[in-house]
Amino acid sequence: MNILAIETSCDETSAAVVKDGCKILSNIIATQVEFHKKYGGIVPEIASRKHIEVINPIIEQALDKAKVKFKDLDAVAVTYGPGLVGSLLVGLCAAKAIAYSLDIPLVGVNHLEAHIYANFLETRHSSLVTRNRKFPFVCLLVSGGHTMLVLVKDHGEDEVLGRTRDDAAGEAFDKVARFLELGYPGGPIIDKLAKEGDPNAIKFTRPMLDQGYDFSFSGIKTAVVNLVTRNPQLETRNIAASFQQAVVDVLVAKTIRAAKEYNCKTIALAGGVSANSALRKEMETQAKNNKLKVLIPPLSLCTDNAAMVGCAGYYHLKDKKASDLNLTAVASLRLG
Ligand code: KG4
Ligand code: ZN
């Protein structure tokens, strides 16, 4: 089964062809980051305009790379939320037009669920096992807009154990980087800079470490601002490393605790912040110490991409959950 998948929820225009829910035949991603950089964040109007400009060529490239023609497609999967409404609508209109003209099923996918499904895609290291993922598992979903711990009981059965009460983890990285005048997006920049710094140089508090599964990151961000304002001589690389360590410690501790409490043998990472090298390393170490298996998608599947949407769409279709052509964008779509 060949699924054409489309993702336009934020500032990446992406189209992919996914075979049988796990084989990535193509996964084309056009990032708009250059256009938003000078504003220090995403400008929604620019995002939707750029999606419109590139959506058709990106879909054509995805088909070409996969060596698949429109007539070879069996379904179209598309992200319909959460995200920027003007951006979502671009992908949604394209998907509906293709599904309607080819008379094939359309399937709407929740972007957050798609991030989790990045763990079900075949990669060089995970062929064969992907289709037999063992449920239940705990997934730490950390992106620019969301931070949550999800108990994934089966396909389509997600229970959100906790979420952030204020900033998402990625948002905290981006805001701290902006304050330190490091550039945008802040996550990868802080990640790189932190490699040269001392993570123990500054002891930032670990917010809500022992309390439930909710998170709070705006306090660490404010702590960085206050500290640097009072101590301008502090080295930026040490601030970056110490801030990152504080965020990583909280994310890892809560994920491991949840896996134990809910008797899960496996934990998974998902979302843009799971590209963070310190988070990946610490999660692997702690998982090993606690005899847990850890799934981490390759970097290219952590940030926004359409292949993960195609994978999630495949399982919806298997469950006979196609959408109709009235499907509309839901900016604040929730998971679970
Ligand atoms: O999942 P994603 O591509 O888009 C959303 O759905 O939000 O996540 C983007 C977020 C941004 O906040 C970015 O700074 C963060 O992921 N990010 C990282 C890293 N790479 C991307 N954060 C920390 N370390 C990284 N290496
Ligand atoms: Zn995302």
CATH code for the domain in which residue 86 is found:
3.30.420.40
In a domain? residue 309:
yes
| Whether residues 81 and 205 fall in one domain | no
- How many domains would you assign to the chain? 2
In a domain? residue 129:
no
The per-residue pLDDT for range 55-79, each reduced to its tens digit, is 999 999 999 999 999 999 999 999 9
The per-residue pLDDT for range 179-221, each reduced to its tens digit, is 999 998 999 999 999 999 999 999 999 989 999 999 999 999 9
Name the pLDDT band for 336 (thresholds 50, 70, 90): confident
Q: How far is the CA of 186 from the centre of ligand 2 (A)?
A: 15
Name the pLDDT band for 40 (thresholds 50, 70, 90): confident
| Whether residues 244 and 314 fall in one domain | no
Task: Report which protein residue has its CA nearest ligand 1's atom 23.
Answer: 187
| Whether residues 291 and 312 fall in one domain | no
Angle between helices 186-194 and 277-289 (to 10 degrees): 70
| Whether residues 229 and 287 fall in one domain | yes
Q: Give me the pLDDT at residue 123, please.
A: 82
In a domain? residue 219:
yes
Burial class, 231, CB count within 10 angstroms (exposed 0-12 / middle 13-18 / buried 19+) = exposed
In a domain? residue 132:
no
Task: Report which protein residue has its CA nearest ligand 1's atom 8.
Answer: 272
In a domain? residue 325:
no
| Whether residues 174 and 115 fall in one domain | no
Burial class, 216, CB count within 10 angstroms (exposed 0-12 / middle 13-18 / buried 19+) = middle
| Whether residues 109 and 181 fall in one domain | no
Q: Give me the pLDDT at residue 131, please.
A: 56
Q: How far is the CA of 200 from the centre of ligand 2 (A)?
A: 30
| Whether residues 251 and 312 fall in one domain | no
Q: Give me the pLDDT at residue 128, please.
A: 45
Which ligand 1 atom is the nearest neighbour of the CA of 12?
A: 3
| Whether residues 7 and 49 fall in one domain | yes
Under DSSP, is residue 321 helix (H, G, I), strand (E, B) or coil? coil
What values do phi and psi take at 110, rounded to 5?
-75, 125
In a domain? residue 131:
no
Q: Could you write out the DSSP letters of every residue in 188-227?
A: HHHHHHHTTS-TTSS----TTTTSSS-B--HHHHHHHHHH
Ligand 1: residue of 31, 110, 274, 303 to mutate (most ligand atoms within 8 A of CB) is 303
Residues with beta carbon inside 6 Å of ligand 1?
A: 10, 143-145, 170, 173-174, 185-188, 191, 271-273, 275-276, 303-304
In a domain? residue 31:
yes
pLDDT over threshold 90, residue 233: yes
| Position 165, amino acid | R
| Whether residues 39 and 98 fall in one domain | yes
Task: Report which protein residue has its CA nearest ligand 1's atom 14.
Answer: 187
Ligand 1: residue of 32, 173, 189 to mutate (most ligand atoms within 8 A of CB) is 173
Name the pLDDT band for 139 (thresholds 50, 70, 90): very high
Mean pLDDT value across the chain: 95
Q: Which two tokens stand for residue 69?
A: 């023609």
Q: How far is the CA of 19 from the centre of ligand 1 (A)?
A: 27
Task: Report which protein residue has its CA nearest ligand 1's atom 2.
Answer: 272
For residue 248, give the nearest of 204, 279, 288, 208 by alpha carbon: 279
In a domain? residue 189:
yes
Which ligand 1 atom is the nearest neighbour of the CA of 302?
A: 1
Task: Report which protein residue has its CA nearest ligand 1's atom 11.
Answer: 144
Q: How far is the CA of 74 from the centre of ligand 1 (A)?
A: 32
Q: Give me the pLDDT at residue 132, please.
A: 58
| Whether residues 310 and 291 fall in one domain | no
Which ligand 1 atom is the nearest neighbour of the CA of 115?
A: 1
For residue 83, give the nearest of 30, 28, 145 by alpha carbon: 145
Distance, C-alpha 30 to centroid of its chain: 16
17-54: b (≥16 Cβ within 10 Å) or e = bbbebbbbbbbbbbbbeeebeeebebbeebbbebbbeb
| Whether residues 215 and 281 fall in one domain | yes
Which ligand 1 atom is the nearest neighbour of the CA of 192?
A: 26
Cross-strand partners of 145 = none
Range(s) of the domain holding residue 30 = 2-120+301-318
Ligand 1: residue of 182, 184, 273 to mutate (most ligand atoms within 8 A of CB) is 273
Distance, C-alpha 53 to centroid of its chain: 24
| Position 123, amino acid | T
| Whether residues 308 and 232 fall in one domain | no
The per-residue pLDDT for range 96-132, each reduced to its tens digit, is 999 999 999 999 999 999 999 999 999 876 644 555 5
Q: How far is the CA of 146 from the centre of ligand 1 (A)?
A: 10
